Amino acid sequence: MDEIDKKEIDLWLRRRLAENVRRMRMAKKLSQERLSELCGFHRTYVSQVERSVTNISVDNLQRIAEALEVDPSALLKARVVRTHQAESAPK
């Protein structure tokens, strides 16, 4: 895997994570600040995750998943679109 592919995949994963955290947080009617409190993060950290501007550790992924009451893998899954096809990851 060359450097461009790796960067593309990293960005794709950060965007999936950002999208899913935001969607799940809003579904639970939690503010970014409240989710940060539940996870023990600084108040701006969730905003950074939701804007795809920070890399996230596995530990922090787990903390967010626990606060949202979901499996950590759910935070990285691509959403299914109306045609019932999953969004494709970069190759």
pTM of the model: 0.81
Of the candidates 31, 19, 1, 36, the residue with the CA atom closest to the CA atom of residue 76:
19
Q: What is the pLDDT at residue 88? A: 54
The CA distance from 86 to 34, in Å, is 31
| pLDDT digits (tens), the chain, 91 positions | 676 788 888 889 999 999 999 999 999 999 999 999 999 999 899 999 999 999 999 999 999 999 999 999 999 998 765 554 555 555 5
> What CATH number was assigned to the domain covering residues 3-75?
1.10.260.40
Q: For the chain, which residues make up each domain, given as ranges?
A: 3-75
Q: How many CB atoms lie within 10 A of CB 34?
A: 15
